[in-house]
């Protein structure tokens, strides 16, 4: 019986030792696993760059307090400097949090289209010439003339007259060598593709022209291009202020233009008979020529 008691007493004593010594051993092991000032000093001795050391510090910090034990007291900082730890590394030891992300404020003047598959972020019209983008130079509509005077005269003002915008030269300097070209519109802030129309130009000996308004006659005054001169297109929004323009039909050889009008499209009230009330749309024109 005494032997059994001895065995039981020995077993209880062994269990007591295990329950007190094992946690201490685990705590000691965990403390060795924690990233500390000494680890930083050792990495400096190895000749590792500041970037590498800083990355390690932030990784250890993100793992939690169980893996991170950095001392930034005055005495500890003194030891770090004596060990040739740089100020950049010490700053991260004091505050391991990564720097805040840089915010970019986008305004109407900020270029926002950086895709190499799109034209440069500059307002205008571009033709996709195989793998490159050819800019179609534009100009403001400033030259206008009145047309249809004879018809109005012989009908005693019943037939209206019209305003024609003129573009110098019988042919555009912008040559588009594709009968079904793909265009891109980079529109001004506040505009979209619906502000543009694709039109045919009437070719004259020394200029080209298109109608942008009318006045007089029994229908009153109107502004805008003639519907029969328009060519429908599809516009796909492919980026901020950027539209891809495709055509359903080929363009015949001739003179064309994208016209962005800013005038009023409504019939002008009170313009009847010989009254010259009415309006001519102003805007910007991007002309081009389709060769034979």
Task: Identify which has the larger pLDDT, 80 or 278.
Answer: 80
Which pLDDT value is given to residue 225?
Answer: 72
CA-wise closest residue to 200 among 247, 155, 235 = 247
Helix (H, G, I), strand (E, B) or coil at 138: strand
Q: Picking from 9-23, 132-146, 223-237, 255-269, which range would have the lowest pLDDT averaged per residue?
A: 9-23
Task: Identify which has the larger pLDDT, 182 or 3.
Answer: 182
Which pLDDT value is given to residue 254?
Answer: 96
Task: Identify which has the larger pLDDT, 251 or 143.
Answer: 251
Helix (H) or strand (E) holding 133: strand 132-136
Q: How far is CA 8 from CA 4, 16, 19, 22, in A?
A: 6, 12, 17, 21
Task: Identify which has the larger pLDDT, 261 or 78.
Answer: 78
d(CA 124, CA 107): 18
d(CA 221, CA 157): 12
**How large is the C-alpha radius of gyration of the chain?**
40
Which pLDDT value is given to residue 25?
Answer: 47
Contact 212, 224 (CB under 8 A): yes
d(CA 217, CA 160): 4
* Mean pLDDT across 166-181: 94
d(CA 235, CA 187): 12
* Mean pLDDT across 152-181: 75
Helix (H, G, I), strand (E, B) or coil at 23: helix
Task: Quick: pLDDT tens for 38-77.
Answer: 999 999 999 999 999 999 999 888 887 778 889 999 999 9
Task: Identify which has the larger pLDDT, 159 or 77.
Answer: 77
Task: Quick: pLDDT tens for 92-107.
Answer: 999 988 877 555 555 5
Full-model pTM? 0.52
Which pLDDT value is given to residue 114?
Answer: 64
CA-wise closest residue to 234 among 184, 176, 281 = 184
d(CA 138, CA 119): 16
- How high does pLDDT run on average in the chain? 77
* Mean pLDDT across 171-177: 95
Q: What is the DSSP letter of 195?
A: G
Task: Identify which has the larger pLDDT, 171 or 24.
Answer: 171
Task: Quick: pLDDT tens for 274-283.
Answer: 344 444 456 8
Helix (H) or strand (E) holding 234: strand 234-239
Report residue 124's pLDDT band, with 50, 70 and 90 as the boundaries. very high
Q: Picking from 144-148, 161-165, 202-206, which range would have the lowest pLDDT averaged per residue?
A: 144-148
Contact 214, 162 (CB under 8 A): yes
Task: Identify which has the larger pLDDT, 262 or 245.
Answer: 245
């Amino acid at each position: 019986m005494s032997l059994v008691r001895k065995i039981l007493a020995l077993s209880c004593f062994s269990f007591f030792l295990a329950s007190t010594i094992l946690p201490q051993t685990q705590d000691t092991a965990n403390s060795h696993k924690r990233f500390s000032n000494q680890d930083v000093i050792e990495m400096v001795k190895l000749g590792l760059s500041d970037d590498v050391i800083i990355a390690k510090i932030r990784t250890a910090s993100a793992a939690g307090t169980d893996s991170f034990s950095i001392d930034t007291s005055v005495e500890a900082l003194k030891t770090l400097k004596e060990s040739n730890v740089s100020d950049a590394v010490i700053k991260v030891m004091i505050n391991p949090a990564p720097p805040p992300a840089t915010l970019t404020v986008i305004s109407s003047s900020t270029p926002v289209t950086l895709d190499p598959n799109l034209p440069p972020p500059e307002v205008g019209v571009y033709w996709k010439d195989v793998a490159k983008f050819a800019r179609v130079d534009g100009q403001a509509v400033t030259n206008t003339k009145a047309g249809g005077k004879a018809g109005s005269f012989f009908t005693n003002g019943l037939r209206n007259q019209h305003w024609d915008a003129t573009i110098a030269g019988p042919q555009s300097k912008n040559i588009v060598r594709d009968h079904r070209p793909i265009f891109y519109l980079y529109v001004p802030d506040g505009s979209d593709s619906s502000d543009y129309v694709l039109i045919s130009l009437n070719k004259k000996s020394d200029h080209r022209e298109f109608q942008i308004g009318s006045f007089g006659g029994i229908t009153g005054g109107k502004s805008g291009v003639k519907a029969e001169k328009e060519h429908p297109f599809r516009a796909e929004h492919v980026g901020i202020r950027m539209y891809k323009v495709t055509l359903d039909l080929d363009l015949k050889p001739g003179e064309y233009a994208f016209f962005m009008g800013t005038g009023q499209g409504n019939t002008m009230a009170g313009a009847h008979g010989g009254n010259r009330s009415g309006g001519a749309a102003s805007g910007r024109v991007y002309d081009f020529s389709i060769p034979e």
